[in-house]
Amino acid sequence: MTPAGMRPPASPLPPRPADGHKGTFGTVLVIGGCDTKRSCMVGGPAFAAIGALRAGAGRAILAVPRTIVNSCLEVAPSATGLPLSDSVDEAVAHLKDTLNGVQAVVIGPGLGVSDSSVELVARVLQASCDRPVVLDADGLNVVSRELVESLTGSGAMVLTPHPGEYDRLANVLDLPIRPRTEQERQDAASALSRASRSVVVLKGQGTIVSEADRSWTCDRGSVALATGGSGDVLAGIIGGLMAQGRPSSCAEAWDLAVWGTWIHAVAGEEWSKRNGTAGLLAADLAAEVPAVLKQVPRLQA
C-alpha cells in the first residue's frame, strides 16, 4: 500500500501545451441517463460529464434520452447535449456518427437496465472497440445480465464496480463473490481483471485498481465520498484522463485509472478538511478536482 501522503506509482499524465485547444485535450462521450415510468436518472451522466471536464478534458458530450437532455444540461451546462431517440437503431446510428470525433467513452451512469439498454450497450461497445471505454454503474449491470462476452473486445477498458456490481459480474464469470478482507478484495479485483481483460477499479474503503497481475490500493479518501453521484464523478475523471492520454492498451489505461482514483480520493479529503465527513455533494466533489490535479506530475510539452 502506498504510504499516506505519497503519490501513486503511476506514469506522469500527458502534458498541457500552452498552445493547446479543446481538441488537444480530447472529447469524452458520456452515454447514460433514463426516463421511464419507474425512474428518471438525470444526475449520473451529468456528474460524469462534469468530472471529465474538471479532470481536463476539452469537451464532454451528454448522450441521453431526448426527454431529459435539457435537464441534464441544466446540471452540466458546460457539456454538449446529444439527444437520443427511443429507437435503439436511431440512437446507435447517432452515436456511431459521434464516436468518430471522441477520444474516450463513459457508458452507464443512470442508464437503467431495460432490454433496450442491453441492446444499446452491446452495439455501442462493438462500435467503440478502438476507443478507451469506462464501464460504470448500470453499464456494468446490463453487461452482467447478458453481455459478459463483450468485455474482452476493447483495447483499453476500465470497469468501475462497487461491491454489489462486482458480485453480479463475479457470479456470471464464476469468480469468488463477497470478498471482505483486503487480500480477498485484491485477489477478486485481479481475477476480474484477468477474466474481463480490463482494468478493474474495485471501489470501497481502500479502492483497488488492478490490471492483470499488478494492483494498487488507494489509502486516501474520506467517508464523505459515500454519497450519491460520487462514483459518477470518478468515472468521468477517469474518462477525462483517458481522453487526454489516449491509451491503446489496458497497461496504459491502468496508470490513468490509478491517477483518477487518487485524484477522486484526495478531492474528498480536501473537502472533508473544511466541512467534515457529511454533506458532500457530487458537484462539490468535482469542484475540488482541479486543485488536486495540480499535484499530479505531467510529462513536459
4 alpha-carbon distance from chain centroid: 24
pLDDT of residue 2: 41
Residue type at position 278 = A
Number of domains in the chain: 1
Evaluate whether 109 touches 32 at the Cβ level (below 8 Å).
Answer: yes
* DSSP secondary structure string for all residues of the chain: -PPTTPPPS-PPBPP--TT--TTTT-EEEEE--EE-SS-EE-HHHHHHHHHHHHTT-SEEEEEEETTTHHHHHHH-TTSEEEEE-SSHHHHHHHHHHHHTT-SEEEE-TT----HHHHHHHHHHHHHTTTS-EEEETHHHHHHHHH-GGGGGS-SSEEEE--HHHHHHHHHHHT---S--SHHHHHHHHHHHHHHHTSEEEE-STT-EEEETTEEEE-----GGG-STTHHHHHHHHHHHHHHHH--SSHHHHHHHHHHHHHHHHHHHHHHHHHH-SS---HHHHHHHHHHHHTTS-B---
C-alpha–C-alpha distance, residues 59 and 188, integer Å: 34
C-alpha–C-alpha distance, residues 131 and 115, integer Å: 24
pLDDT of residue 152: 64
Mean pLDDT of 274-299: 97
Mean pLDDT of 11-21: 94
Evaluate whether 218 touches 261 at the Cβ level (below 8 Å).
Answer: yes
Q: Specify if 9 maps to a domain.
A: no
Q: Specify if 201 maps to a domain.
A: yes
Q: Specify if 8 maps to a domain.
A: no
239 alpha-carbon distance from chain centroid: 6
| pLDDT one-digit tens code per residue, 56-66 | 999 999 999 99
Local confidence band at 7 (pLDDT 50, 70, 90 cut-offs): confident
| pLDDT one-digit tens code per residue, 112-124 | 999 999 999 999 9
Q: Specify if 2 maps to a domain.
A: no
pLDDT of residue 218: 97
The CATH number of whichever domain residue 157 belongs to comes to 3.40.1190.20
Q: Specify if 6 maps to a domain.
A: no
Q: Specify if 15 maps to a domain.
A: no
Q: Specify if 4 maps to a domain.
A: no
Q: Specify if 298 maps to a domain.
A: no
Cell numbers 505531467 correspond to what residue? 298
Quote the pTM value: 0.96
Range of the domain at 119: 27-293
Cross-strand bridge partners of residue 35:
40
The yes-or-no verdict on residue 150 having pLDDT over 80 is: no
pLDDT of residue 260: 98
Provide the 10 A C-beta neighbour count for residue 183.
9
